[in-house]
Amino acid sequence: MIEYPKYKKVLFCTDFSENSDCAFDYAFGIAKRDEALLYILHIFSANPRASYIDNYMTKEYWDKLKVTMLEDIEKKYDSQYLSQIKDKTKVKTVTKSGREVEEILKFIREEHIDIIVIGTHGRTGIQHVLVGSVAENIVRRSPIPVFIIPCKKQPDLDSAG
C-alpha cells in the first residue's frame, strides 16, 4: 500500500472569488487531516503606475487608502474562511503586495511550504492568452506539489441534448 505524504504546511492562495472559495474546502481538508499549519495568502497587485499616482495623490492619502484596503481584506478573511474554522491556532492569514506568481513562489521558499492549493478560473481561448493564469504559472514553476481546483460551474452534461 502506498503511504500518502503528510503535509506540515499547506498554502491556500485566494483572490476571494467563488473559485477560491471552492479551493478553500480542499486546503482546509488537507490541513485538518494532516494536522498541518494552514496559510491563507492573498496577493494584491502592486500598482505598476505608482509614479502616476504620486502625481495625483498625496502620500498621506495613498497610505490611508492602503490601510482601508488591508482592513477590507481582513474582513474577507474572517467572513469567507476564518468563520468556518473552530481552532484558529493552526491558521495564519498573510497579505502581500506584488506580482502574484513571484510572491507565491517567494513565500513557499521562505516558509518551507509543502503543498499549494489554488482555484482556477477556467479561462480559455483569447481570454486565457490575454489574462494568463496564475495557477498555470505556479504549476510550471513550483518546486512543490500544486493542487489545482476547478470550480467553475459546469453545464449538466446529462441534460444537454
Q: How big is the chain by its Cα radius of gyration, in Å?
A: 18
Contacts of 64 (CB under 8 A, 6+ apart): none
For residue 52, what pLDDT is reported? 64
Output the nine-digit C-alpha cell for 138.
505556479
For residue 130, what pLDDT is reported? 40
Distance CA(147)–CA(75), nearest Å, equals 26
For residue 151, what pLDDT is reported? 73
Domain boundaries, the chain: 9-150
For residue 123, what pLDDT is reported? 53
Contacts of 69 (CB under 8 A, 6+ apart): 44
In whole angstroms, what separates CA 81 from the centre of its chain?
A: 12
* Each residue's pLDDT tens digit, 43-77: 987 665 566 666 777 878 878 888 999 999 999 99
81 by DSSP, 3-state: which? coil
CA distances from residue 87 to 13, 38, 75, 130 in whole angstroms, order as listed: 20, 11, 18, 41
Q: List the chain residues with pLDDT less than 70.
A: 46-54, 121-132, 152-161
CATH number of the 9-150 domain: 3.40.50.620
For residue 36, what pLDDT is reported? 97
Q: Are 154 and 122 in contact (CB under 8 A)?
A: no
Output the nine-digit C-alpha cell for 53.
499616482
For residue 29, what pLDDT is reported? 96
Q: pTM for the whole thing?
A: 0.83
For residue 157, what pLDDT is reported? 47
For residue 128, what pLDDT is reported? 45
For residue 89, what pLDDT is reported? 95
